[in-house]
């Protein structure tokens, strides 16, 4: 399975945290990332996302570009781990999965799944990881 691990795009500050929405710049970031993923062969991928608003809005833009619909999954909320992301991805029955989450989780998850150091993860950042069948 090819996993596209994505950090949500730029969000507005504020409270409550779960309702922070994307900025105008963040929406552009998400649209551009969706177009890039589609151009790089991610079309038709399953898209799973943290249930927090900023992640869902990012996932919606990506899913639109990939011709699919995002599915919120509590396991991708802040505090997600490599294990919970892998479980959510495995349930998609797809060979390509986009998982939208948060920092610092994304860096830790990428390091755990890829077996390397924690990568930098800017907003709307993506790391592609090829996972063995699970």
Phi-psi sector, 60: left (phi>0), alpha (psi -120 to 50), beta: alpha
Where exactly are the structural domains of the chain?
Answer: 2-130
Give the model's pLDDT for residue 132: 85
Among candidate residues 35, 30, 25, the one with its CA nearest the CA of residue 8: 30
Q: Under CATH, to which class is 2-130 assigned? A: alpha beta
Q: With a cut of 70, say whether residue 128 has pLDDT above it.
A: yes
One DSSP character per residue, 38-82 reads: IIIIITT-EEEE-SSHHHHHHHHHHHHHHTS-EEE-GGGSTT--H
pLDDT at res. 134: 58
User: Tens digit of pLDDT for each residue in 48-63?
Assistant: 999 999 999 999 999 9
- pLDDT score of 45 more than 90: yes
pTM above 0.85, yes or no: yes
- Which pLDDT tens digit goes with each residue over 61-119? 999 999 999 999 999 999 999 999 999 999 998 999 999 999 999 999 999 999 999 99
CB 112 within 8 A of CB 81: yes
Question: How many angstroms separate the Cα of 35 from the Cα of each of 62, 75, 91?
Answer: 7, 26, 25
Q: Are 40 and 92 in contact (CB under 8 A)?
A: no
pLDDT at 96: 97
CA dist 59 and 8 (Å) reads 8
């Amino acid at each position: 399975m090819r996993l596209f691990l994505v950090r949500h795009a730029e969000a507005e500050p504020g409270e409550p945290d779960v309702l922070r929405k994307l900025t105008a710049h963040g929406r552009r970031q998400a649209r551009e990332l969706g177009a890039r993923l589609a151009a790089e062969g991610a079309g038709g991928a399953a898209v799973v996302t943290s249930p927090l608003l900023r992640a869902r809005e990012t996932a919606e833009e990506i899913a639109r570009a990939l011709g699919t619909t995002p599915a919120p999954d509590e396991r991708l909320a802040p505090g997600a781990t490599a294990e919970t992301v892998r479980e959510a991805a495995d349930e998609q029955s797809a060979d390509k999965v986009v998982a939208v989450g948060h920092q610092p989780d994304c860096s830790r998850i990428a390091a755990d799944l890829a077996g390397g150091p924690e990568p930098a993860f800017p907003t709307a950042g993506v790391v592609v990881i090829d996972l063995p069948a699970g």
